């Protein structure tokens, strides 16, 4: 799925990935190793799982360090064989609403203090390295503009139940901007929209994992609100290609780019697609619960910038991706 030019960039590169044992981080680690990079993965395993790195842990070009990135990087990167990195992907953070609401302090610290500490360390040790911050579509909050372009400043409740994540990511972006503008670091920001695929924790509370788990048990699918709210779902391997392009292409210093699939589905449509994939001969049953506070009504990325600057757009449609995820297979 990668062009030869992008693959060549990663050959023999030294790469640090925080949140390496998470859903996104582990897929990124696998792709980097496949492209020929040497990777150091860091994760405190609060939400990440070592089983996600099963393939990577067999590679002589991968090192895993269990550590919390809200601590000074020298406290854990001194354990690495070589900490002279060409790239840093900062992906450490709980990412689903139930998980980050369970651990609000860890969530806001890893996205704020963790980001600051890594950039401070990078300036002193690897000032020419590229730093890619995993931000989120949650920075747009409950958007008043649809679809959401990178120029939109968002509509976020700063004191809401989701703010430990939403506002922490916004502050993380602020920190990235300071270190790019004031200190000249090559910082790039990916705003990630809803993502799904193999290794997504079935118990993490996200809509796709919830529906798949319930459909496999042939239970009614739980819908919050009326189910008319919309989401856009990007298959994880499409997203990883976007990460690798964002990090490898020249002249993207200081850029913030949406990465997601612009296909838009209501939650009811999502339920029907997942149910019919798993139980094609059974009628869908739904169970309704109140809509959580600050839940976005519509969510869809404007990926014009990604198309223009990265030459990237998703290739895998939602129905195909659900089949792949249910089958437990990667493309």
Q: Which of the 8 DSSP states describes residue 138?
A: G
Which residues are registered as beta bridge partners of 222? 287
Average predicted confidence (pLDDT) for the chain: 95
Residue 78 belongs to domain with CATH number: 3.40.50.720
Known active-site residue 108: no
d(CA 257, CA 274): 29
Q: What is the Cα–Cα distance from 97 to 254, expressed in whole angstroms?
A: 28
> Is residue 150 in some structural domain?
yes
What burial class does residue 162 get, using C-beta atoms within 10 Å of its C-beta: 0-12 exposed, 13-18 middle, 19+ buried? Answer: buried
pLDDT band for position 4 (cuts 50, 70, 90): confident
Q: Would you place residue 331 in the very low, low, confident or very high pLDDT band (cuts 50, 70, 90)?
A: very low
8 A C-beta contact, residue 188 and residue 252? yes
Distance, in Å, from the CA atom of 37 to the CA atom of 294, rounded to the nearest integer, reads: 40
CA 273 vs CA 270, 278, 305, 321: distances in Å = 5, 9, 29, 11
Please indicate whether residue 19 or residue 328 has the higher confidence score (pLDDT).
19
Q: Is residue 226 part of a domain?
A: no
Average pLDDT over residues 119-125: 97
In a domain, 220, yes or no: no
In a domain? residue 27: yes
CA distance 43 to 173: 21
The pLDDT of residue 293:
83
- The secondary structure of residue 67, as a DSSP letter, is -
Instruction: Give how many domains the chain has, as a whole number.
Output: 1
In a domain, 279, yes or no: no
State yes or no: pLDDT of 329 exceeds 80: no
Torsion angle of the four alpha carbons 72, 89, 94, 158, in this order, in degrees rounded to the nearest 10:
90
Each residue's pLDDT tens digit, 37-78: 999 999 999 999 999 999 999 999 999 999 999 999 999 999
Other CB atoms within 10 A of residue 174 CB: 11
Using pLDDT thresholds of 50, 70 and 90, give the confidence band for residue 31: very high
Q: For residue range 187-245, what is the model confidence (pLDDT) as tens digits?
A: 999 999 999 999 999 888 889 999 999 999 999 999 999 999 999 999 999 999 999 99
Residue 171 belongs to some domain of the structure: yes
With respect to residue 158, please indicate whether it lies within any of the assigned structural domains: yes
- CB-count exposure of residue 293 (10 Å: 0-12, 13-18, 19+): exposed
In Å, how far are 9, 138, 175, 287, 313 from 248, measured between CA atoms?
A: 6, 25, 22, 45, 16
Is pLDDT of 330 > 60? no
Question: CA dist 55 to 44, 149, 243, Å?
Answer: 19, 36, 20
Cα distance between residue 35 and residue 29, in whole Å = 10
Spatial CA neighbour of 160 closest among 292, 49, 31, 29? 292
Q: Is residue 267 part of a domain?
A: no
Pick the catalytic residue from 165, 196, 233, 235. 165
Domain residue limits at 43: 4-195+234-261+300-314
């Amino acid at each position: 799925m990668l062009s030869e030019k992008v693959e060549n960039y990663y050959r023999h590169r030294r790469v640090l990935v925080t949140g390496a044992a998470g859903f996104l981080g582990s897929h990124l680690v696998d792709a980097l190793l496949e492209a020929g990079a040497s990777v150091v993965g860091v994760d405190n395993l609060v939400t990440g799982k070592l089983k996600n790195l099963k393939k990577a842990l067999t590679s002589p070009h991968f090192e895993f360090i269990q550590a919390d990135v809200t601590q000074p990087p020298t406290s854990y990167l001194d354990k690495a064989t070589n900490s002279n990195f060409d790239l840093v992907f900062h992906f450490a953070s709980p990412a689903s609403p139930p998980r980050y609401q369970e651990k609000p302090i860890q969530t806001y610290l890893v996205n704020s203090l963790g980001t600051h500490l890594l950039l401070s360390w990078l300036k002193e040790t690897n000032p020419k390295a590229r730093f890619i911050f995993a931000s989120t579509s949650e920075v747009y909050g409950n958007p008043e503009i649809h679809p959401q372009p990178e120029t939109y400043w968002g509509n976020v409740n700063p004191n809401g139940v989701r703010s430990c994540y939403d506002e922490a990511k916004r502050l993380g972006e602020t920190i990235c901007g300071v270190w790019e503008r004031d200190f000249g670091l090559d910082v790039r920001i990916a705003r990630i929209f809803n993502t799904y695929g193999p290794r997504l924790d079935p118990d993490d509370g996200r809509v796709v994992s919830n529906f798949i788990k319930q459909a496999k048990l042939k239970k009614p699918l739980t819908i919050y609100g009326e189910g008319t709210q919309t989401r856009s779902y990007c298959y994880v391997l499409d997203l990883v290609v976007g990460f690798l392009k964002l990090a490898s292409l020249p002249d993207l210093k200081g850029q913030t780019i949406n990465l997601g699939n612009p296909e838009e589905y209501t939650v009811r449509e999502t339920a029907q697609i997942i149910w019919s994939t798993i139980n094609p001969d059974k009628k869908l049953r739904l169970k309704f619960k109140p809509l959580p506070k600050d839940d976005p009504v519509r969510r869809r990325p404007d990926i014009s910038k990604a198309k223009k600057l990265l030459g990237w757009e998703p290739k895998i449609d939602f129905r195909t991706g659900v089949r792949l995820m249910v089958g437990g297979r990667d493309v």
